[in-house]
Structure 1
Amino acid sequence: MSKIKVIALGGVRENGKNMYAIDVDGQIFVGDFGLKYPDNELLGIDIVIPDLTYLEENADKIAGIFLTHGHADAVGALPYFVGEHPVPVFGSELTIALAKLAAAGNPQAKKFNDYHVIDEHSVIDFGKNKVSFFRTTHSIPGSLGIDIETPSGQIVYTGDFKFDQSASPMYQTDLSRLAKIGDGKVLALLSDSANAESPYQNASEHEIATKIEETIKYQSGRVIVASVASNIERIQQVLDAAAATNRRVVLTGREVEKIVRTAIRLKDIRLPKPDILASTKELKTLKDEEVVILETGRMGEPLKSLQRMATSRHRLVHIHEGDLVFITTSISHAMETMAAKTRDMIYRAGGEVKAISDDIHASGHANKADLQLMLNLLKPEYLIPVQGEYRLLAAHQEIAEEVGIPEQNIFILNPGDIVSYEKGKMHNAGHVDAGNTMIDGIGVGDIGNIVLRDRKMLAEDGIFIAVVTIDRKKKRIVSTPKISSRGFVYIKTSKDLLAEAGELVTKTVQKQLDNKEFDWSTLKQSVREDLSHFLFDQTKRRPVILPVIMEVNQNSTKRQ
């Protein structure tokens, strides 16, 4: 009997950052290697990836990384690992192509080339363990679930999925394969929970395509479609609708253009007309009724780009009277406030807004009925809900209990939790480090809570700078302290406050100079603390305080 450990390194109690390590007798199989985009409080952070420490320490045990699909929440963190730890990476043709695009901007990962294209017929033999795959329906072609066959049973990871009986062949779920897997012993199922709260039936992609075409058909002006860059199926529907209504499609971003060009090359996107795609230069010459503008925004986030369009700050498109902004992506709960603000800004600019979610329920993830169908097909002994915030994991637990899975056989994990299978039973078995690694520019993990706290303080209360020049030998202040501020108070109307602050700095510095045991760090800390108390008493604000102390003597001037 095998000893099995399942470790959630990301993707539980959060949206995105999917990464699950399955350790079978010392062989580690990693399901997905994703990132997530930062919340509003992570000021200046570009992306967030899982803490990779566990995988780095056990890189020699990794049999392979298995990618379920090509979205950033499944492949985005790959460049931050494979450059230094060249382990095999497996995925469908489009998934691997998009993983290579993600790695192209990283100098080390760009050189990595241990990619392996697999499909639903592939079986990879790792000795006692085998890995096979099954087709699933998602918003991108080449979406696969993962089946790890061990001597103790199968560990199945669904990836993102839903069931759509009208899906085109490229997107169809292999139901017979799922039933065959379920005929064997499925020890544990790691299943998508991102839409577990929804009791509504997902609209079929055929219905969505019809809705998109009807919306564009009855619009006399420009149509600006907001979508996610990697939602290949939605992009195909927009192209088809534009062709049916005699319009041409303009892609506004480099990211979406790269993805679309890659999908066209692999025949995962079909161009309904040879000239359906128009260049950004042609946008100026085309009439409004001849244009569909496809906007995905930076890193696939269209809302900020729409705001720039509404305020005439976008590099290509300014919203004007007669424009329709058609939001074809589902807005998450966390973004609802921003979405409402964006709508208001578009209306103020003279445009109109429609969202596909206003009329139909569109999602690339399984709802309650879909989750129960997956459970009934696979009949797992244990369930580990993944891919979602806690409320979604808990909703998935309730759904599973309804189809007969005992509560004690369902594990809702925290990031880093280990579930171990030993002596015929699965149980909680400790924890590994699995926090967030924040990426800011080229910096990886160099931004911590202290830096984020300072950024938040700067954003909320600004900065207060006090510059003082001293002569330590003569124990005196050479010149009056210079006080400046940014983002704290308006200097011209706060001269009295700044003058009092200067006097306080003078007293504090002189007190430290008179002290027999002079210390630079104590001096700066005293200035910082005294100013902090004073400014809070006067303004009820806590700016970042930066004391700059310079020393002067007869021979030289040096900055301390």
Structure 2
Amino acid sequence: MKSKLSIIPFGGVRENGKNMYAINYNDEIYIFDAGLKYPETDLLGIDVVIPDFGYLKEHADQVVGIFLTHGHADAIGALPYLLNDINAPVFGSEMTLALAKLALQNDKNVENFEDFHVVNEKSVIDFGNAKISFFSTTHSIPQSLGLVLETANGQIVYTGDFKFDQTAKNDYRTDLARLGEIGKQGVLALLSDVAGVGSYDESVNESAIEEYVLDTFQNHQGRIIVAAVASNIQRIQQVINATYKTGRKIVLSGNDLEKVVRTALKLKKLELPIPENELFVSFKNMKKLPLAETVILETGKMGEPIKHLQRMANGDDRHIKIGEGDLVFITTTPSTAMEAFVARTRDLMFKAGANVRAISQDLRSSGHASRNDLQLMLNFMQPKYFLPVQGEYRVLSAGAELARQVGISDKNIFIMQNGDQLNYDDGNLYLAGSIEVTNTMIDGSGVGDIGNIVLRDRKILSEDGVFIAVVTIDRKKKKVVSKPKITSRGFVYVKASRDLIRESIEIVEKTLTNSLENIEEFDWSVLKTAVRDNLSHYLYEQTHRKPVILPVIMEVNQNGLRNKRHLKKNNNKATKVVKKHVNNVVNGNTDKQITSKEVSTKKIQSTKRKTSTKKVINKK
């Protein structure tokens, strides 16, 4: 029987992070990694972004396993969400699975998931149709693995994150002999990490970085605050070693960090030169330590250390305030999307009197393959087809050029985008089409409920603000029964723009009066659209800005409402309800009922009085 083979990326191409690739072989799906990525600055309010699992949910019965290369968020961060939709066994090294289990603890639906299987570089799993084997790689976390899917058509190899470092030790060392064996057996397609090839500089080895960390500690006499990514076990080990050699003690800051450190200690992936109680100090006892003997190791929420540093510099952290004589030592390389944020944070720390030092300014430190590393991997594997992964298009293109330099034909190199389906048939790998794969955005507890419309509204709100007009009409009499109430957030300061507000009130009143007199069949959407269009035209003419305009139109009941004071009270109450929703939107807590397309206020009723049973009701 003719075998069927296809490769589909669900994330990790033309972007940084969110690695996830599916190999479909004879109607069995093998999933390589399930990662997330942290949002760029234009994704306002979004916590993380994960792949779209739609296709995999439709073919859930074909998924035979999820195979993880290492324990960083770009490889395991989406696992809890994936397991909510697909029940499949998960395979990875001991350290990788320990961190994956930590990720599952925050999701009640999958916190009791137990179908984990520990593998190592010597493991081989036979699924009948195909075999999965592994090889050790060098990365900034121990027990990182590459994956090999052995099929009748040839081997599909996925490197995961890797680099070559001849000084790597123990669980960080690459088995070069194993790479040679894989290459000799014949590699059909190589999916290789190219995230580091955008730079022409070579990364320094970890032994040089360890010396740099120790030198930094030895040359500062005050308190040291170290910012690191929680899952960068290698960097944490270097900080521990430098702390011990300079006679200091460590205070762990951040739940993410403490969980990772405890897990690594339990698995003996972190080595302590002295007993734990002699090296680590709690926040409670931190004040008893002399500043010159204090090292604060922090990561902040979700492993993002820079944001927590800003809180410390502003004095918003209840335990730590950066001050005179402190050294802030940044041991992580922030993404390019955070460059402006990092610059502001550094400025705040200098204002607080601290010195700031960053590894990325003095050394090129990376856990990803350099240009030479990639070409060495290509020469080991000798693949027929090359698929660069993990990086923006310019980085994938640089990886493709490096592959051409070592003799891989241009027609055998594929720069994919998410959803592309590469099929193998009659000895050729070719693009057979694509499936729809979008980003799934996580905002708080919401999964995938934030779309382009909401993001567009957030962007407009962040740039031009919101302009609200609340008004009550009498439909039968076809007239406005009270002056419109105007309020604004993030657009103009109302008290300083009285002429603009006064003219806006007149426009709303005039627009509604004309519309009520001229429409044959009453339609709420027609009224709101007319108000929105006329206000938008006027406001842009006056300010050259386009705020989100929210017309809130209410109706008196059929008996009318002659108590003007009562009407004003309810009008103000309606405005307060809308303001509350607007505050939620501005602060990132989007209420789906408030958008630029349609506004629906909560039902507002007047307080019953002995003298009157009349009420104002909301009209949707």
Q: Classify the TM-score, shorter chain.
A: over 0.9
Aligned to 1:471: 474
SS state of the match for residue 499, structure 1?
A: helix
Aligned to 1:321: 324
CA drift of 1:338 comes to: 2.4
SS state of the match for residue 44, structure 1?
A: coil
2 CA distance for matches of 1:532 and 1:247? 62
Asked whether the 8 Å contact 2:34–2:82 carries over to 1, the reply is no
Q: Normalising by the residue count of structure 1, what TM-score does the alignment of the two structures yield?
A: 0.98
SS state of the match for residue 357, structure 2?
A: strand
- 1:356 equivalent to 2:359? Answer yes
Letter in 1 for 2:514: K
1 CA distance for matches of 2:396 and 2:520? 62
Aligned to 1:81: 82
2 CA distance for matches of 1:492 and 1:557? 28
More RCO (CA 8 Å, sep 6+): 1
1 CA distance for matches of 2:381 and 2:543? 62
Q: 1:523 aligns with which of 527, 530, 540?
A: 527
Asked whether the 8 Å contact 1:149–1:155 carries over to 2, the reply is yes
Aligned to 2:106: 105
Aligned to 2:298: 295
- 1:536 equivalent to 2:540? Answer yes
CA drift of 1:314 comes to: 2.2
Aligned to 1:37: 38
Letter in 2 for 1:181: I
1 CA distance for matches of 2:460 and 2:317? 29
- 1:247 equivalent to 2:306? Answer no
Return 5+ residue gaps in structure 2 as ranges.
560-613
Aligned to 1:238: 239
CA drift of 1:331 comes to: 3.0
Q: 2:465 aligns with which of 462, 467, 470?
A: 462
More displaced, 94-103 or 151-160?
94-103
1 CA distance for matches of 2:480 and 2:167? 81
Asked whether the 8 Å contact 1:463–1:486 carries over to 2, the reply is yes
Q: Deviations over 1:417-460 (max 9, x none)?
A: 11111000111111011110001111111101110011111111
- 1:165 equivalent to 2:151? Answer no
Q: Deviations over 1:130-169 (max 9, x none)?
A: 0000100000011000000000110000000001111111
CA drift of 1:230 comes to: 0.7
Letter in 2 for 1:131: I
- Structure showing greater radius of gyration is 2
Identity percentage over the alignment?
58
2 CA distance for matches of 1:240 and 1:318? 25
Q: Deviations over 1:343-381 (max 9, x none)?
A: 222111111111112222111001011111111111111
2 CA distance for matches of 1:22 and 1:195? 25
Q: Normalising by the residue count of structure 2, what TM-score does the alignment of the two structures yield?
A: 0.89
2 CA distance for matches of 1:469 and 1:447? 32
Q: Deviations over 1:172-221 (max 9, x none)?
A: 00111111111101000000011012232221111111110110111011
2 CA distance for matches of 1:200 and 1:272? 34
2 CA distance for matches of 1:516 and 1:336? 57
1 CA distance for matches of 2:159 and 2:481? 70
Return 5+ residue gaps in structure 1 as ranges.
none
Matches within 5 A, 1:41-440: 41-274=42-275, 275-440=278-443
Asked whether the 8 Å contact 1:83–1:110 carries over to 2, the reply is no
Letter in 2 for 1:519: D
- 1:449 equivalent to 2:449? Answer no
Letter in 2 for 1:81: L
Asked whether the 8 Å contact 1:418–1:428 carries over to 2, the reply is yes
Q: Deviations over 1:35-60 (max 9, x none)?
A: 00000110000000011111111111
2 CA distance for matches of 1:358 and 1:234? 16
SS state of the match for residue 29, structure 1?
A: strand
Aligned to 2:563: none
2 CA distance for matches of 1:395 and 1:505? 57
SS state of the match for residue 282, structure 1?
A: helix
Q: CA RMSD in A?
A: 1.2
1 CA distance for matches of 2:505 and 2:310? 42
2 CA distance for matches of 1:2 and 1:314? 59
Asked whether the 8 Å contact 1:2–1:150 carries over to 2, the reply is no
Letter in 2 for 1:66: F
2 CA distance for matches of 1:286 and 1:511? 75
Letter in 2 for 1:263: A
Letter in 2 for 1:25: N
Letter in 2 for 1:231: N
CA drift of 1:266 comes to: 1.0
